[in-house]
């Protein structure tokens, strides 16, 4: 108690911030006003408090005038709280004996009357002077970081982030929900603007991931639970039963031709439904890992319903020729169950990607009605040498007189389907202009058809992109500027018979045109994954109104989230092309490495704690904590806060009905004295 | 050696607090044995002038119940403060304002007009209102006047201790006497009851789920309540989490929710605001319509959350009138 009686000696500094503050606030008058307040030992005004001389001034004054509290009235604490806490500490005081007043963003920048702005600065300063008297010495805690990293999603972002970390010697868990990594990029034929073969550049990376000693690759798996905090996450992963023992499967694929189904007859999702597969399958030739999967929904062995625990009942009717083919390898196990794994990691990189817009949501374009209307991703598979047609572009509907499938003679590509549209998605999906031109080029190469691109604006802002556009112009592809009104099979002229007619206002020519084509390609936009909301909650991230995961700062912290130790890369954060995705994945890996190599995280001491004696155990606080930092001790019937998880949001403090939760730096005495300070100034 | 002098006085109150003193039953004999009662208007006849004639600080302790509503109450509070070593705010009205302080939602004029003119059960065609003084049969009596606001005792005079409750329980009263007479007193300003919320001693505590997630609120008369289950879990507003314990959870034991008469813990400035903050944070709905639907079950928020604490709360009258 006696130490508390130490005489209060507050040092007050008001910053001019050049003209930013001084032009609207009379800084000298503020200093003279504060000087008279009780407990204030000295009050100064200075041109730039954040400059080296400004900080040295604080340190000198602490020593020479025996100051024990520091208040600086300047800009936002976001900018310089750290700076001034540092100066306070360098002067020999606990950094939390410092308090900052924002008289720039909160005052000089938002007012037009110099007299009133000055009075407001005085009031805000008085509030801080009263508050700082109640400040306590606090300690920054250091928490060690677990060096392993979880990467969620095995598309190009996840692959690149995992490889970067693994090559730096970090242990990585890469979790992918599909049977193979590769993501959307594995489905592409070529990449713009260089026309590199997507598989040629991606699959070597995929197999590197599969064999890297530092990467634990879990495909066909879901993250089901995340607990903990930066540096110390405990993650539960569900490894879905693929009915194949991964370690025993050699990838020989002998089981596939020997399946009792002689012909593939089930929808092949990897080929966008354009091809068929068997119940036992491998998604695509270069799949990683090279392990087959059995689909329990269609395999005859699972036709007898389910056990009470949800696992399938194995039938005795199927001849199990696949098991015979597998032979001594014994890799097929129909009794396999989902398995839950628990891992500990320090950092998490979320690369869960996107889904493409459902073209059926724009009925006027006829997707699902007219068979020869395709999505861009279907075309990617159609032009792909390992696709369902072996790279031959043939129409779904219509045959040549000799009965062979028809090749399109004219093709229309409609841009911005599900992008830049108030009715669907407002955003530009960024990649569609470029991939539409790439597809135009490839389709022309494959079919020599007449190609029409219907665009609103041509957006080609990447390296080499405008050049690619010029190349397409020279190739003779037609570009028609205008949003397409509809696609119809209603012919108005003989040459429109049997064709799909694209009705569009050509805004450059100023006429409405009807263009008959054999094939329509819809350049579908990018959307957040259907389960993005669940993923967001799982990893405690935020999202924008559009559903894309939110970065901490759009410019200065683009791969960080608001949860420390959780980073973003790729399209889950917003539409982007492969170069940007890879750059972001590298950045996320680097951010994770910053924490791993430093070895610890510093924790702001503005955390809340429960007054154990006073807690009545009413549990009001527990469901409110956004960081699940509050737990209930069933034995003692009291709540307690895991300090390492607490982010200092104050929700529980406000909600505790008996005020038995206290938050450092925001104690009632501090807040009430601050309020009284503002109100008492007149 | 003469016995310590004790006074009991009542201001704006219902008489329930006096009842508690009587409820000490045979224990009251032990109290009476040890003290001399110099003023107890509810039970015995004393004259104010006799109290005024006592030397200052000659009363050991005064237990004053009721809020300060009338000018006479203020005069007596000031007088008893002067004459007493210890002035104790006894019961919710003296401590927090209590039920009478709900009148602070209205102006004095509104209160008088309703009670002497608009009240449907009234027969006062002349609309006569009480006067400060009037002359009848050659005499001019002076009547006590209604203040603009109802105040707690400590908003009028300095108070040494508080005994909470509407009314305080005999146990707390007895314990307070024992502490006073033995001289084992806590620091000045203390409330003589535990400083932990009611849930601590409520038998239903274990049945409160971690996430109550209110979808609707019901008032006590709108249902038959499970006598073993937390009221909040049943959607009934129970002030227990925001109210000091010490009553032995009397109401919840009798299958009625806590209404908050023991007031907040020492750490809380505004009991009603605290309970509101806690309750509203736990409403399940996240959209305006859903929230409004849930809150429609609380038609009288002031009467629910500030039933006893309005005078002591941070809320002020719309018109800033003098006391």
Domain-wise residue ranges, chain B: 5-99+149-182, 198-305
Confidence of residue A2 (pLDDT cuts 50, 70, 90): very low
- Cβ-based contacts of B263 with chain A (< 8 Å): none
- Contact indicator for B237, B217 with CB cutoff of 8 Å: yes
Question: Are B277 and A658 within 8 A, CB to CB?
Answer: no
Q: How distant is the Cα of B267 from the closest Cα of chain A, in angstroms?
A: 6
Residue A489 has pLDDT above 90, yes or no: yes
Q: Which residue among A611, A651, A659 sits closest to B268, beta carbon to beta carbon? A: A659
Count the Cβ atoms, other than its own, within 10 Å of residue A369: 13
Say if strands A410-417 and A519-524 run parallel, antiparallel, or are unpaired. parallel
Which candidate, A247, A253, A276, places its Cα nearest to that of A322?
A: A253
Q: For residues B151 and B97, what is the distance between their CA atoms, to the nearest angstrom?
A: 6
CATH of domain A608-663: 3.30.70.20
**Residue extents of the structural domains in chain A:** 2-140, 150-232+344-353+530-603, 266-337, 356-527, 608-663
Domains A150-232+344-353+530-603 and A356-527 share a fold: yes
Which candidate, B200, B152, B287, places its Cα nearest to that of A618?
A: B200
CB of A659 within 8 Å of any CB in chain B? yes
Tell me what ipTM this predicted complex has.
Answer: 0.90
- pLDDT of res. B316: 73
Share of chain A above pLDDT 70, in %: 99
**Burial of B155 from C-beta contacts in 10 A (0-12 / 13-18 / 19+):** middle
CB of A335 within 8 Å of any CB in chain B? no
Which candidate, A358, A331, A159, places its Cα nearest to that of A272?
A: A358
Q: How distant is the Cα of A634 from the closest Cα of chain B, in angstroms?
A: 9
Q: How does the average pLDDT of chain A come out, rounded?
A: 94
Question: Are A613 and B196 within 8 A, CB to CB?
Answer: yes
DSSP A404: P
pLDDT beneath 70, residues of chain B: 1, 317-323
Residue A627 has pLDDT above 90, yes or no: no
Residue A1 has pLDDT above 50, yes or no: no
Q: For residues A255 and A260, what is the distance between their CA atoms, to the nearest angstrom?
A: 10
Q: Which two tokens stand for residue A241?
A: 């039963």
Using CA coordinates, name the residue in chain A closest to B267. A659
Using CA coordinates, name the residue in chain B closest to A620. B278
Which candidate, A49, A76, A35, A67, places its Cα nearest to that of A133?
A: A67
The CATH architecture to which A2-140 belongs is: 3-Layer(aba) Sandwich (3.40)
Q: For residues A535 and A115, what is the distance between their CA atoms, to the nearest angstrom?
A: 51
- Contact indicator for B270, B190 with CB cutoff of 8 Å: no
- pLDDT of res. A680: 84
- Coil, helix or strand for B136? strand
CB of A613 within 8 Å of any CB in chain B? yes
CATH of domain B5-99+149-182: 3.40.50.700
Which candidate, A181, A191, A138, places its Cα nearest to that of A159?
A: A181
- Contact indicator for A545, A525 with CB cutoff of 8 Å: no
Q: A150-232+344-353+530-603: what CATH class?
A: alpha beta
- Cβ-based contacts of B205 with chain A (< 8 Å): 616-618, 637
pLDDT, tens digit, 9 for 90 and up, residues A373-403: 999 999 999 999 999 999 999 999 999 999 9
Which candidate, A490, A498, A512, places its Cα nearest to that of A409?
A: A498
Q: For residues A123 and A677, what is the distance between their CA atoms, to the nearest angstrom?
A: 7
- Cβ-based contacts of A656 with chain B (< 8 Å): 274, 278
- Contact indicator for A89, A95 with CB cutoff of 8 Å: yes
Residue A505 has pLDDT above 80, yes or no: yes
Q: Which two tokens stand for residue A97?
A: 């004996």
- pLDDT of res. B317: 59
- pLDDT of res. A647: 85
Among the ranges given (A33-42, A623-632, B162-171), the one the predictor scored with the smallest mean pLDDT = A623-632
Q: Report CA-CA distances (Å) from A31 to A16, A35, A448.
A: 11, 6, 79
Q: Which residue among B209, B267, B275 sits closest to A660, beta carbon to beta carbon? A: B267
Fold of A356-527: FAD/NAD(P)-binding domain (3.50.50)
Once rounded to an integer, what is the mean pLDDT over residues A285-298? Answer: 94
Residue A573 has pLDDT above 80, yes or no: yes
Q: Report CA-CA distances (Å) from A203 to A187, A349, B133, B167, B257.
A: 11, 21, 102, 80, 67
Which one of A611, A620, A669, A670 makes the best mutation probe of the B interface by having the most chain B beta carbons within 10 Å? A620
Q: Report CA-CA distances (Å) from B305 to A222, A660, B273.
A: 47, 19, 8
Q: For residues B121 and B38, what is the distance between their CA atoms, to the nearest angstrom?
A: 39
Long-range interactions of A599-602: CB distance < 8 A, separation 24+: A599/A144, A599/A145, A600/A142, A600/A143, A600/A144, A600/A145, A600/A231, A601/A142, A601/A143, A601/A145, A601/A230, A601/A231, A601/A564, A601/A565, A602/A140, A602/A141, A602/A142
Question: Are B209 and A614 within 8 A, CB to CB?
Answer: no
Count the Cβ atoms, other than its own, within 10 Å of residue B1: 3
Once rounded to an integer, what is the mean pLDDT over residues A121-150? Answer: 96
CB of A427 within 8 Å of any CB in chain B? no
Question: Are B205 and A617 within 8 A, CB to CB?
Answer: yes
Angle at which helix B170-182 crosses helix B27-34, to 10 degrees, equals 30
Q: How distant is the Cα of A351 from the closest Cα of chain B, in angstroms?
A: 29
Which candidate, A209, A249, A263, places its Cα nearest to that of A336?
A: A249
Q: For residues A440 and A451, what is the distance between their CA atoms, to the nearest angstrom?
A: 6
Once rounded to an integer, what is the mean pLDDT over residues A491-497? Answer: 95
């Amino acid at each position: 108690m006696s130490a508390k009686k130490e005489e209060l000696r507050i040092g007050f500094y008001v910053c001019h911030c050049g003209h930013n503050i001084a032009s609207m606030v009379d800084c000298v008058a503020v200093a003279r006003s504060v000087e008279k307040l009780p407990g204030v030992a000295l009050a100064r005004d200075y041109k730039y408090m954040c400059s080296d001389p400004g900080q040295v001034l604080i340190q000198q004054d602490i020593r020479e005038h025996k100051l024990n509290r520091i208040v600086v009235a300047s800009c936002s604490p976001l900018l310089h709280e750290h700076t001034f806490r540092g100066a306070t500490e360098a002067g020999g005081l606990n950094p939390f004996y410092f308090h900052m007043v924002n008289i720039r963003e909160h005052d000089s920048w938002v007012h037009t009357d110099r007299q009133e702005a000055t009075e407001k600065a005085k009031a805000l300063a008085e509030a801080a002077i009263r508050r700082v008297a109640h400040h306590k010495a606090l300690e920054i805690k250091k928490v060690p970081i677990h060096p392993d990293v979880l990467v969620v999603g095995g598309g190009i972002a996840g692959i690149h982030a995992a490889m970067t970390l693994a090559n730096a010697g970090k242990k990585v868990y890469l979790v992918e929900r599909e049977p193979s990594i590769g993501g959307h990029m594995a489905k592409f034929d070529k990449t713009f603007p260089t026309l590199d073969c997507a598989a040629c550049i991606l699959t070597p990376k995929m197999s590197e991931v599969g064999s890297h000693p530092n990467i634990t690759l879990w495909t066909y798996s879901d993250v089901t639970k995340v607990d903990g905090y930066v540096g110390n996450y405990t993650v539960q992963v569900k490894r879905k039963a693929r009915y194949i023992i991964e370690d025993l499967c050699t990838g020989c694929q002998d089981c596939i031709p020997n399946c009792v189904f002689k012909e593939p007859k089930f929808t092949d999702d990897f080929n966008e439904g354009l091809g068929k597969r068997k119940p036992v399958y491998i998604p695509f030739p270069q799949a990683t890992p090279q392990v087959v999967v059995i689909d329990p929904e269609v395999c005859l062995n699972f036709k007898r319903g389910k056990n009470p625990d949800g696992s399938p009942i194995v039938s005795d009717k199927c001849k199990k020729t696949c098991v015979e083919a597998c032979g001594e390898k014994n890799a097929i196990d129909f009794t396999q169950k989902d398995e839950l794994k628990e891992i500990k990691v320090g950092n998490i990189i979320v690369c869960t990607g996107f889904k493409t817009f459902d073209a059926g949501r724009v009925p006027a374009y006829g997707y699902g009605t007219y068979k020869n209307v395709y999505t861009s991703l279907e075309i990617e598979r159609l032009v792909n040498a390992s696709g369902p047609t072996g790279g031959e572009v043939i129409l779904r509907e219509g045959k040549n007189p000799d009965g062979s499938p028809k090749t399109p003679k004219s093709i229309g590509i409609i841009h911005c389907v599900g992008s830049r549209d108030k009715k669907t998605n407002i955003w530009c999906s960024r990649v569609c202009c470029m991939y539409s031109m790439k597809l135009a080029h490839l389709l022309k190469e494959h079919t020599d058809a007449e190609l029409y691109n219907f665009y609103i604006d041509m957006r080609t802002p990447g390296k080499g992109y405008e050049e690619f556009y010029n190349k397409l112009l020279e190739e003779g592809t037609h570009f028609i500027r205008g949003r397409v009104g509809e696609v119809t099979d209603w012919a108005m002229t003989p040459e429109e018979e049997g064709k799909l007619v694209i009705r569009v206002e050509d805004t450059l020519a100023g006429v409405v045109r009807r263009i008959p084509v054999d094939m329509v390609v819809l350049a579908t936009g990018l959307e957040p994954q259907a389960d993005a909301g669940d993923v967001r909650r799982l990893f405690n991230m935020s999202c924008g109104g559009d559903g894309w995961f939110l970065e901490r700062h759009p410019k200065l912290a683009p791969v960080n989230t608001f949860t420390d130790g959780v980073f973003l890369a790729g399209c889950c954060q917003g539409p982007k092309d492969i170069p940007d995705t890879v750059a972001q994945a590298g950045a996320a890996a680097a951010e994770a490495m910053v924490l791993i190599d430093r070895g610890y995280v510093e924790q702001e001491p503005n955390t809340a704690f429960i007054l154990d004696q006073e807690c009545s155990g009413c549990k009001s606080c527990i469901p409110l904590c956004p960081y699940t930092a509050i737990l209930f001790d069933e034995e003692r019937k009291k709540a307690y806060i895991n300090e390492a998880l607490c982010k200092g949001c104050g929700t529980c403090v406000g909600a505790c009905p008996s005020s038995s939760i206290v938050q450092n730096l925001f104690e009632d005495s501090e807040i009430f004295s601050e309020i009284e300070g503002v109100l008492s100034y007149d | 050696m003469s016995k310590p002098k004790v006074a009991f006085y009542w201001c704006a109150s219902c008489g329930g607090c006096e009842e508690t003193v009587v409820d000490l039953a045979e224990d009251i004999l032990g109290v009476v044995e040890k003290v001399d009662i110099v003023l107890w208007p509810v039970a015995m006849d004393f004259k104010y002038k006799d109290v005024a004639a006592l030397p200052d600080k000659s009363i050991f302790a005064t237990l004053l119940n009721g809020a300060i509503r009338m000018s006479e109450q203020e005069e007596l509070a000031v007088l008893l403060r002067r004459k007493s070593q210890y002035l104790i705010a006894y019961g919710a009205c003296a401590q927090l304002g209590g039920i009478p302080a709900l009148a602070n939602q209205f102006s004095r004029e509104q209160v008088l007009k309703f009670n002497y003119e608009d009240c449907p059960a009234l027969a006062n065609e002349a609309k006569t209102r009480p006067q400060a003084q009037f002359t009848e049969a050659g005499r001019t009596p002076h009547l006590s006047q209604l203040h603009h606001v109802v105040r707690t005792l400590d908003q009028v005079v300095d108070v040494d201790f508080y005994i909470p409750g509407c009314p305080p329980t005999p146990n707390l009263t007895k314990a307070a006497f024992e502490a006073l007479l033995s001289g084992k007193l806590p620091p000045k300003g203390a409330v003589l009851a535990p400083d932990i919320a009611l849930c601590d001693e409520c038998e239903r505590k274990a049945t409160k789920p971690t996430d109550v997630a209110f979808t609707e609120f019901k008032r006590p008369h709108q249902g038959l309540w499970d006598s073993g289950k937390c009221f909040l879990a049943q959607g009934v507003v129970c002030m227990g989490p925001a109210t000091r314990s010490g009553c032995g959870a009397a109401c919840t034991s009798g299958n009625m929710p806590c209404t908050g008469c023991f007031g907040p813990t020492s750490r809380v400035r505004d009991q009603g605001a605290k309970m509101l903050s806690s309750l509203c944070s736990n409403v399940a709905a996240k959209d305006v319509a859903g929230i409004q639907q849930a809150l429609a079950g609380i038609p009288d928020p002031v009467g629910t959350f500030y039933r006893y604490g309005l005078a002591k709360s941070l809320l002020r009258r719309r018109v800033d009138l003098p006391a």
